[in-house]
Amino acid sequence: MPLEPHVFAHVPRLADKIVDPDKSRFRMSLATFEELDRKAREAGYPPGWRRSHEDREATRTEALAGRLHADLWLFGYGSLIWDPAIRAREIRTATVSGFHRSFCLMARIGRGSPEKPALIAALDHGGECHGLAFRIDRDDVDAETEILWMREMISNAYVPVFTPVDTPQGSVEALAFVINHDCGRYAPDLGPEETARIIATGDGILGANREYLFNLVEQLEVLGVEDEELRDLHRRVRAIESR
């Protein structure tokens, strides 16, 4: 079922801009991985392309120790802001300090492939980032974070951290997924032209890399977020498309 109307009390402009969790391809289950593994094999990925279920769950247990019986806040800065795939009970606009949004994660699966790699947004250290905060009800935290972990912690690209987040309704401590500098796919210094070229050409089993960028830009515009670097990247990608 779609998110209930009261969830959007603080962000009414998003009422028809958030994907229904039940229709999201990111509302994953163990069965989902059977299909992902099949597609990965067909695309030529090695058997260890993802974390094992046991390893992934171990990282969730460690990160959420002592937090499964209280409401949990989640900070979204990338695809979570239009397709969170979780059942939130409240959504707020939010700002996190000490991290910034950066297209610094190289992806060769999902939005990319070995032949057409992609760049995905991640939280990197320094600056600030505007996004959304989602509140997960305490009764839902275990089930919803299991789904969330299948999406965000499928590999070692991210590190789950809890960080203060400012919202118009007050500060909260929220879970955020920060880039792992040691993951082997961290690409922070490509420059705007190369970043735009990769995004314009990246393509994989989840679709085109540029669609990810365009969805992000559109959602931030709905929220009234000014991000000049992102707009510049958007212009560069559009220019490449028009050649």
Q: What is the pTM of this model?
A: 0.94
Query: What pLDDT score was predicted for residue 240?
Result: 95
C-alpha pair distances (Å), 100 with each of 78, 111, 179: 11, 21, 11
Task: Check whether 38 has a pLDDT greater than 90.
Answer: no
- Active site (annotated) includes residue 34: no
Tell me the CA end-to-end span of the chain in Å, nearest whole number: 42
CA 52 centroid distance within chain: 20
Give per-residue pLDDT as tens, 210-223.
Answer: 999 999 999 999 99
HEC-encoded secondary structure of the chain:
CCCCHHHHCCCHHHCCCCCCHHHCCCCCCHHHHHHHHHHHHHCCCCCCCCCCHHHHHHHHHHHCCCCCCCCEEEEECCHHHCCCCCCCCEEEEEEEEEEEEEEEEEECCCCCCCCCCEEEEEEEEEEEEEEEEEEECCCCHHHHHHHHHHHHCCCCCEEEEEEEEECCCCCEEEEEEEECCCCCCECCCCCHHHHHHHHHHCEECCEEHHHHHHHHHHHHHHHCCCCHHHHHHHHHHHHHHCC
- In the chain, what are the domain boundaries? 5-241
pLDDT digit string, tens, across residues 119-172:
999 999 999 999 999 999 999 999 999 999 999 999 999 999 999 999 999 999
- Residue 224 identity (one-letter amino acid): G
Instruction: Specify the 3-state DSSP secondary structure of 131.
Output: strand
Residue 43 has pLDDT above 80, yes or no: no
Helix 228-241 to helix 209-223 angle (10° resolution) is 140
Lowest-confidence pick of 31-45, 107-121, 192-206: 31-45
The CATH number of the structural domain formed by 5-241 is 3.10.490.10
Write down the pLDDT at residue 189: 86
Of residues 199 and 34, more confidently modeled: 199
Are residues 202 and 116 in contact, defined by beta-carbon separation less than 8 angstroms? yes
pLDDT, residue 205, reads 84
Q: Of 152, 194, 226, 229, which one is the catalytic site residue?
A: 152
**Sole residue written with tokens 């995905």:** 120
